[in-house]
Amino acid sequence: MYPRTIILLTLTCMAFAADKPIPIISQTQDISPDGSFSSRWETGNGIIVQEDGVLKNPGQKDAEAEEVRGSASWTAPDGTKINLGWLANENGANFQGAHLPTPPPPQPIPPLIQRALDWIATHPYKDEKNRL
């Protein structure tokens, strides 16, 4: 539910910043007894949001998790069309969109550190009394 909260707060702030009210053109919601849900809405200024969620592994202790997939699209003030997608589950949230920054490529491991890691991998710790 975390991504949905972010999107809804962002869109609410955008609506309050507008000079006049923005109508909701369409809105549908469905919440099922099995824990799944879907929500879709569109505003008069072109904002479209959709989200679907499902409960994975229902009834299984420590394996039950909600998975939510969603997307939102709107036009930025400069006229750029923004498309944002997300997937949130037990592994965290992943957001996708051409407008999002990309992380730098991973740096290579320095040779001395790699050598130490290789040594540690081939010489496992055997003294259990001093182990944390």
pLDDT in tens, 7-57: 666 666 565 555 788 899 999 999 998 889 999 999 999 999 999 999 888
Contact yes or no for 86/96 (Cβ under 8 A):
yes
Evaluate if pTM is beyond 0.85.
no
Q: Is residue 11 part of a domain?
A: no
Q: Is residue 113 part of a domain?
A: no
Residue 71, pLDDT score: 96
How many Cβ atoms sit within 10 Å of the Cβ of residue 80?
Answer: 10
* Angle formed at CA 27 by CA 10 and CA 53, multiple of 5 degrees: 70
Closest alpha carbon to 4 in 35, 38, 34, 32: 38
Residue 88, pLDDT score: 94
Contact yes or no for 32/54 (Cβ under 8 A):
no
Q: Is residue 51 part of a domain?
A: yes
70 exposed, middle or buried (CB, 10 Å; 0-12, 13-18, 19+)? buried
Q: Is residue 12 part of a domain?
A: no
Q: Is residue 24 part of a domain?
A: yes
Q: Is residue 57 part of a domain?
A: yes
What domain range is 62 assigned to?
Answer: 18-99
Q: Please state the φ and ψ torsions of residue 94, each to the nearest 5 degrees.
A: -125, 125
Residue 102, pLDDT score: 86
Give 60's DSSP letter.
Answer: -
Domain count, the chain: 1
pLDDT digits (tens, 9 = 90+) for 71-128: 999 999 899 999 999 999 998 999 999 888 888 899 999 999 999 999 999 988 776 5
Q: Is residue 55 part of a domain?
A: yes
Q: Is residue 131 part of a domain?
A: no
